[in-house]
Amino acid sequence: MEEDFNVTAYKVEGNVDYTALEKRFGIMPITEDMQSRITRLAGESHYLIRRKIYFAQRELSWLLDQYEKGNKFYVYTGIAPSGRMTVAHLIPFIMAQWLQEKFNADVYIQIPDEEKFLTKNDPNLTIENINKLAHEDAMDIVALGFKPGKTKIYIDTENATQIYKHAVRVSKKITYSTIKDAFGFSNETNIGAIFYTSLQAVGTFIKSAEENRKIPCLVPLGVDQDVHFRVARDVVEKLGYYKPAIIHSRFLPGLKGDPKMSSSKPEDAIYLSDSPETVVKKVNKAITGQQSTAELQKKHGGNPEKCSVCQYYKFLFEPDDKKLDAIFKAERSGSILAGEHKADLSMKINKFLENHRKNREKIENKMEDFMLK
């Protein structure tokens, strides 16, 4: 029997059954064959794909066919700020940066600084505040190693002239009925939130529109964002462009076990701006898959699938499969206790964040080279 869970563009609840979700959304798994093709074409595999953190797709085979024929793709992804970026937010950008490097792909990144303003009722989420966050996010993204000239970040309110004209074309082909059903809107929903998906769709054809030719587009995204493209993909094709290919990622759980880490729950999330002490504190309070006492854990072992510490290694902090296996084994066998387990993770996270901040400092004054003109 299906478990009770809910995944919309605005909320993730319950224990997400990803196989059931594929059926609900009409998306297909990333097969072993697709994985091998990507590895062959890239010259190496990526842990996010190997580990099925990117688990589902649309049009991926078609995209790879096109690539093999010499029809290169570009990558489109984004983030809608509502607080400082968490490590969970990095997942699509880690993927995008790798695709840029291995497939020499241009990357377009939308930072919609109106989206949370329109869809949340938080007095702190003014457009001005979100716009500041958008610039923070842009730096955090670029710090992952994106290339100048091949990376085009746009912030909706600042780049509206480049995107609104395209969004208008999308919007003409989407009725309120469609949006209402897809997003669970009511007649009391504001008209900005209703229109917004038109802007999110633009990235799937912006490069084609700019260059006036059809260019394949690959969108790595969290599976909760699929709804925007369920609505838009047919529309994009009607406008004369290729439907975007999409790869869908699972959610990094919250430290306390929420199904999706959320930047609006500080104790559940690791922010890129967290101090080393904060990281230690938060990780110490994380739930693990271990038994209630050290004795029981030593005897019976724990469950790495239910352990947020193990999941953080898997999603972000241990790209080496052999090392990850060792961590999972230790958890299962009971040979590692929660304290040590957490101390190791805190160290890894802090090392990552320290390195990230250094990279960020290097690009802070070079952001102009990464913004859409």
Q: Of 251, 254, 270, 252, which is closest to residue 85 (Cα–Cα)? A: 270
Beta bridge partners, 249, equal 54, 222
Taking the complex as a whole, the smallest distance from the CB of residue 175 to a copy of itself amounts, in Å, to: 5
Window contacting a copy of itself (CB under 8 A); options: 47-55, 176-184, 239-247, 319-327:
176-184
Taking the complex as a whole, the smallest distance from the CB of residue 335 to a copy of itself amounts, in Å, to: 54
117 binds a copy of itself (CB under 8 A): yes
118 binds a copy of itself (CB under 8 A): yes
What are the residues whose beta carbons fall under 8 Å from the beta carbon of 206, sequence distance 6 or more? 76, 108, 162, 163, 166
The residue length of the chain stands at 373
Secondary element (H or E) of residue 367: none
Site for a copy of itself in 153-172 (CB under 8 A): 156-161, 163-165, 167-172
Phi, psi values for residue 302, rounded to 5°: -115, -175
177 binds a copy of itself (CB under 8 A): yes
240 binds a copy of itself (CB under 8 A): no
Taking the complex as a whole, the smallest distance from the CB of residue 120 to a copy of itself amounts, in Å, to: 10
Nearer to a copy of itself, 47 or 164 (CB): 164
Site for a copy of itself in 180-209 (CB under 8 A): 180, 185-195, 197-198
Taking the complex as a whole, the smallest distance from the CB of residue 123 to a copy of itself amounts, in Å, to: 12
Separation of alpha carbons 155 and 130, rounded Å:
10
Nearer to a copy of itself, 105 or 133 (CB): 133
Q: Kindly state the number of chain residues that form the binding site for a copy of itself, as judged by CB under 8 A.
A: 39
Site for a copy of itself in 318-347 (CB under 8 A): none
Nearer to a copy of itself, 157 or 284 (CB): 157
Half-sphere exposure of 162 (CA within 13 A, CB side): 20
Window contacting a copy of itself (CB under 8 A); options: 26-34, 177-185, 349-357, 358-366:
177-185
Q: Of 198, 197, 227, 232, which is closest to residue 217 (Cα–Cα)? A: 232
Taking the complex as a whole, the smallest distance from the CB of residue 204 to a copy of itself amounts, in Å, to: 17
A 10 A CB-CB count for 164 gives 14
- The DSSP line for 257-302 is S-SS--TT-GGG--BTT--HHHHHHHHHT---S--SSHHHHHHH--
127 binds a copy of itself (CB under 8 A): yes
Nearer to a copy of itself, 172 or 362 (CB): 172
Taking the complex as a whole, the smallest distance from the CB of residue 217 to a copy of itself amounts, in Å, to: 21
Taking the complex as a whole, the smallest distance from the CB of residue 157 to a copy of itself amounts, in Å, to: 4
Residue 212, SS3?
Answer: coil
Nearer to a copy of itself, 181 or 340 (CB): 181
Window contacting a copy of itself (CB under 8 A); options: 36-44, 68-76, 178-186, 318-326:
178-186
Beta bridge partners, 288, equal none
Residue 43 zone, left/alpha/beta (φ > 0; ψ -120 to 50; rest) = left
Taking the complex as a whole, the smallest distance from the CB of residue 117 to a copy of itself amounts, in Å, to: 7
47 binds a copy of itself (CB under 8 A): no
Window contacting a copy of itself (CB under 8 A); options: 13-21, 110-118, 211-219, 295-303:
110-118
Q: Of 98, 367, 316, 356, which is closest to residue 218 (Cα–Cα)? A: 98
Q: Are 77 and 16 in contact (CB under 8 A)?
A: no
Phi, psi values for residue 55, rounded to 5°: -110, -20
Q: Are 149 and 193 in contact (CB under 8 A)?
A: no
Taking the complex as a whole, the smallest distance from the CB of residue 15 to a copy of itself amounts, in Å, to: 33
Pairing of strands 12-14, 54-58: unpaired
Q: Positive or negative CA dihedral for 30, 75, 248, 330?
A: positive
Residues that bind a copy of itself (CB under 8 A): 114, 117-118, 127, 156-161, 163-165, 167-177, 179-180, 185-195, 197-198
